[in-house]
A and B are shown apart, each in its own frame.
Chain A
Amino acid sequence: DAKTTQPPSMDCAEGRAANLPCNHSTISGNEYVYWYRQIHSQGPQYIIHGLKNNETNEMASLIITEDRKSSTLILPHATLRDTAVYYCIVRLMEYGNKLVFGAGTILRVKS
């Protein structure tokens, strides 16, 4: 079962930063936070993952609170093509552990 809580939907203006929150208050010390997105029935796309330090790549930034009970995915300059369902997943990075998807957040980027 998913161990994260996300808002069901969010809107963001094109060109602005999209900040997607995720609550994972029961996360254990060796569980990572992963973010994926699914654009209109395509295959889910990996975005970023992290353990406790903030992470940044060419797609997004991941900010994890010091107590690791919540995190925020930041898309710095949202475009219309970022409209998608965003999934926050906690997972042990060890052999045999699957990704468990919840309902995610529908992000609508509007012009």
Chain B
Amino acid sequence: NAGVMQNPRHLVRRRGQEARLRCSPMKGHSHVYWYRQLPEEGLKFMVYLQKENIIDESGMPKERFSAEFPKEGPSILRIQQVVRGDSAAYFCASSPPEDTEAFFGQGTRLTVV
């Protein structure tokens, strides 16, 4: 059973471009979380999704950030018009329907130049 897969592992974007981060949950997992970790800081919750539903987006910045988890395919975290402050590691986690333990991917490291 493959773990949570995130791609790309590293992403470089120029200021003003769009960044798309993908997360494929573990097989049989229907819940996805996204977290952000700024350099030398802790993990901050961003959004919690179930397939085709956003359950909790209380940690999402109000502008430029969006997330989806479609019926088919991976979950996508989209950042429009990136700025230098968006440079961070973005981690995705998935959990089974009974929502017990969550398993994390290896993250996408976004660098905005």
User: Are chains A and B native binding partners rather than an unrelated pairing?
Assistant: yes
Please determine whether B102 and A94 come into contact, CB atoms closer than 8 angstroms.
no
Nearest residue in B to A43 (C-beta to C-beta)?
B104
A102: CB under 8 A from chain B?
A: yes
A98 touches B45 (CB 8 A): yes
Task: Describe B's contact surface by its main secondary structure.
Answer: strand
Q: In angstroms, how far is the closest chain B Cβ from the Cβ of A101? A: 4
Q: Which residue on chain A has the smallest CB distance to residue B103?
A: A46
SS class, residues of chain A in contact with chain B: loop
Question: Contact at B43–A101, with CB atoms within 8 Å?
Answer: yes
Whether A44 contacts B48 by the Cβ 8 Å rule is no
| Any A CB within 8 A of the CB of B56 | yes
From 14 to 37 in chain B, residues with beta carbon under 8 angstroms from any chain A beta carbon are 33, 35, 37
Could you mark each residue 31-51 of chain B with 1 if its beta carbon is under 8 Å from any beta carbon of chain A, else 0?
001010100001111001000
B89, CB-defined interface residue at 8 Å: yes
Q: In the docked arrangement, what's the CA distance between A79 and B98, Å?
A: 33
Give A29 Cβ to nearest chain B Cβ, in Å.
18
- The distance in angstroms between the C-alpha atoms of A51 and B27, with both chains bound, is 26
A38 and B107 CA atoms in complex are apart in Å by: 12
State in angstroms the CA–CA spacing of A37 and B45 once bound together: 16
Q: Which residues of A contact B72 (CB under 8 A)?
A: none
Instruction: Tell me the A residues contacting B by CB distance below 8 Å.
Output: 34, 38, 41-46, 49, 93-104
Interface set of B (CB-CB < 8 Å, partner A): 4, 33, 35, 37, 42-45, 48, 55-56, 89, 91, 93, 99-107
